[in-house]
Amino acid sequence: MSKMKFKTEVNQLLDLLIHSLYSHPEIFLRELISNSSDALDKIKYLTLTDASFKDYKLDPRVDIELDEKDHKTMIIRDSGIGMNKEDLVDSLGTIARSGTKNFLSQLSGDAKKDSSLIGQFGVGFYSIFMVADKVDVISRKAGEDTAWKWTSDGKQGFSIDEAERETAGTTVILHLNEQGREMDSKWEIENIVKKYSNHIAFPIYLHYEKTEWEGEGDDRKDKKVPTIEQVNSASALWRRSKKEISDEEYTEFYKSSFGSYDEPMLRIHTKAEGTLEYSTLFFIPEKAPMDLYQADYKSGVKLYVKRVFITDDDKELIPSYLRFVRGIIDSEDLPLNISRELLQKNKVLASIKKASTKKILGELKTLSEDKEKYTAFIEQYNRPLKEGVYSDYENKTELLELVRFKSTKEEGWVSLKEYRDRMGADQKAIYYIAGDKESILRSSPLLQDYKKKDIEVLILDDEIDEIVMPMVGPYEEMPLKAVNKSGASDDLKSDEDKKKEEDLKPLAEKIKSALGDAVKEVKISTRLHDVSSCIVADENDPSAQIQQMMKAMGQGDMPAPKPILEVNPDHDVVKKLAETSDKDLESDISWILLDQALLIEGAEIEDRKAFAERMNRLISKGL
Ligand code: ADP
């Protein structure tokens, strides 16, 4: 007998699982059945694709044996692919692999102790210790002769011994604890299976003792009859006609197939018959999946071929910006033994992917007509759609209709179309202001002129905006312009304004010579009101976000581009500066104009001490 210890962090994790997530102990069964179903998918796949398994006798099923008399054990057995010694050590000895740390950090602190986390981090198997003190897993791998028994109390470690099992597959024997004993009834288990695992593609049989009555009157006696009954419907829901499926069935399918606990926000069920034959069933979760912005996110779409599960680990099944979609693609036209490499080049799959993308975007368009529902969608998924604007050239037009922005004109979310439809006839562009903090953007002095002239400005505070917006190009022939970049500054000015700016050029030069290389350019600007100055970026300079990205990609540390300083010639301070010929005063005011503008922008000023000294000099002059 070999005894081994669990790998690190397991104890801590088990403790958390067992104690923090106690609210849904029944999910242990969903986890076990889903493991069995995966194992059955795998063996089925082998018999269809691997010549050495051609004659394999497959009887795919899951059996659950109750012990309603003594409540000592519960047995879950499958005829799946099974595990050999190495598999047992690797799969059940190291839990959650890369996910463990993540899982722990999600649970600590104020994080919601939500049992839906369990499945997401692949610690499913360990949920059995919510209902058992000790577990034996007896498994024999298909194609091998030896069976193995893995035993653990979920605390210290596990042991592995040789064992007996007539055929390939896995038997999990739970030695029930108090919690488990409470659930050990036909009624309870049947409900749990129906709730979580009804659409599992294989039959799940329940072994229990049925009560039958014999005799009449006083002689009437009950008798326990061993009974085996299938408890799940085992139908591929997505193959059935939409009309026959109730909302509850869809939701239950979504929950059981994708380990979710929420109600989907949207479902899209399609059956294509024609040159290509396939069914798709997609769901959009109510809440964005937690790994949405992780590079190693889990794909949410499963591929089936003629009802046989092929993979749920292919990120190519749907464009990556739609990675929040959960669902199933089931094709009649693909070969079963398609390899991963071929999958990616496959024409059939490419057309399914293309049609599915169009379908999903089309349904979102329909959803957008319901403002309340669409707002809920946008709150979760605006950013991935923006990624689509950037990455899916073919559907850019559709995606531009779907993304939303904050605006100076109204609360909530605004579409480009709404903006375009209500803008003034003589307006030359669609204006936006981009940066990383909404409150700073909204109070930017640059917006004053637009407000005065009643021109709407979109507020772009998502870090992805600065990457996406330059890709948008004109929307319905209207160019998009950032008001905090040099390119938009002339649009709103009258000829008179322009002349004034031209006449005051010497003042601009005076300030520039005081500031030297700290700024790229100084401009006299008639678009400022109330404030004395502001900074904008040169249109041709990379944005702060882009610079950060380049740095992260190891593209060197380029010097930060210098801002352009715009100065309001009607402001008292600026007028004073124009009048004076005192060099020191010129320098102090010029620097204050720059530093103030930076502060208003939420940017850092280079020399805070010098700033304070200048302020003090000027204040004491005034006192
Ligand atoms: P997950 O299912 O998320 O990978 P689990 O902890 O539930 O995580 O299972 C770990 C691994 O153990 C599975 O990925 C699988 O390889 C193996 N396994 C678990 N149950 C079975 C089973 N009934 N038959 C075959 N392999 C299994």
Mean pLDDT by 10 residues, the chain (623 residues): 62 60 73 89 90 93 95 97 93 56 52 46 71 96 96 85 97 96 94 81 94 86 92 88 93 85 93 94 94 87 83 87 95 79 85 96 98 97 95 95 96 95 92 91 92 94 87 90 83 87 91 93 90 88 67 68 91 90 92 92 87 93 82
Q: What integer pLDDT is reported at residue 543 of this predicted model?
A: 65
Q: Is the CB of 83 under 6 A from ligand 1?
A: yes
Domain presence at residue 569: yes
Domain containing residue 465: CATH number = 3.40.50.11260
Comparing CA positions, the residue from 231, 169, 205, 159 lying closest to residue 2 is 159
* Pair 464, 559 in one domain: no
Give residue 327 CA to ligand 1 midpoint distance, Å: 21
* Pair 50, 193 in one domain: yes
Q: What integer pLDDT is reported at residue 341 of this predicted model?
A: 73
* Pair 207, 83 in one domain: yes
Give residue 336 CA to ligand 1 midpoint distance, Å: 23
DSSP state of 580: -
CA–CA separation, 406 and 409 (whole Å): 9
Domain presence at residue 600: yes
* Pair 480, 411 in one domain: yes
Of the residues 475, 490, 505, the one at which a domain ends:
490
Domain presence at residue 397: no
* Pair 259, 120 in one domain: no
Give residue 91 CA to ligand 1 midpoint distance, Å: 6
Domain presence at residue 593: yes
Residue span of the structural domain in which 53 resides: 2-230
Contact present, 182 and 40 (Cβ < 8 Å) = no
* Pair 277, 225 in one domain: no
Strands, E, within 396-494: which ranges? 406-407, 430-434, 457-460, 480-482
Q: What integer pLDDT is reported at residue 313 of this predicted model?
A: 80
Domain containing residue 144: CATH number = 3.30.565.10
Of the residues 215, 230, 245, the one at which a domain ends:
230
Q: Is the CB of 466 under 6 A from ligand 1?
A: no
Q: What integer pLDDT is reported at residue 1 of this predicted model?
A: 62
Q: Is the CB of 528 under 6 A from ligand 1?
A: no
User: Which ligand 1 atom is nearest residue 80's CA?
Assistant: 24
Phi, psi of 164 (to 5 degrees): -110, 135
Supply 43's token pair: 């063996």
* Pair 98, 198 in one domain: yes
DSSP state of 235: -
Domain presence at residue 380: no
* Pair 55, 203 in one domain: yes
Q: What integer pLDDT is reported at residue 120 of this predicted model?
A: 45
* Pair 453, 513 in one domain: no
Judge residue 37's burial from the number of C-beta atoms within 10 Å of its C-beta, 0-12 exposed, 13-18 middle, 19 or more buried. buried
User: Which ligand 1 atom is nearest residue 121's CA?
Assistant: 3
Residue nearest to atom 12 of ligand 1 (CA): 91
Supply 261's token pair: 């606990």
Radius of gyration in angstroms for the set of CA atoms belonging to the chain, rounded to a whole number = 33
Judge residue 394's burial from the number of C-beta atoms within 10 Å of its C-beta, 0-12 exposed, 13-18 middle, 19 or more buried. exposed
* Pair 486, 500 in one domain: no
Domain presence at residue 472: yes
Contact present, 183 and 26 (Cβ < 8 Å) = yes
CA–CA separation, 524 and 508 (whole Å): 6
* Pair 26, 129 in one domain: yes
Domain presence at residue 605: yes
Residue nearest to atom 6 of ligand 1 (CA): 125
Give residue 397 CA to ligand 1 midpoint distance, Å: 43
Judge residue 413's burial from the number of C-beta atoms within 10 Å of its C-beta, 0-12 exposed, 13-18 middle, 19 or more buried. middle
Domain presence at residue 387: no
Give residue 295 CA to ligand 1 midpoint distance, Å: 24
Q: Classify residue 307 as left (phi > 0), alpha (psi -120 to 50) or beta.
A: left
Residue nearest to atom 11 of ligand 1 (CA): 91
The preferred substitution site among 38, 139, 309, 312 for testing ligand 1, maximizing ligand atoms within 8 Å of CB, is 38
Q: What integer pLDDT is reported at residue 111 of this predicted model?
A: 42
CA–CA separation, 329 and 309 (whole Å): 10
Give residue 161 CA to ligand 1 midpoint distance, Å: 19
Q: Is the CB of 78 under 6 A from ligand 1?
A: yes
Judge residue 47's burial from the number of C-beta atoms within 10 Å of its C-beta, 0-12 exposed, 13-18 middle, 19 or more buried. middle
Give residue 125 CA to ligand 1 midpoint distance, Å: 7
CA–CA separation, 174 and 73 (whole Å): 5
Domain count, the chain: 4
Domain containing residue 504: CATH number = 1.20.120.790
CA–CA separation, 193 and 232 (whole Å): 7
Q: What integer pLDDT is reported at residue 18 of this predicted model?
A: 58
Contact present, 353 and 317 (Cβ < 8 Å) = yes
CA–CA separation, 188 and 182 (whole Å): 9
Comparing CA positions, the residue from 190, 181, 172 lying closest to residue 78 is 172
* Pair 525, 600 in one domain: yes
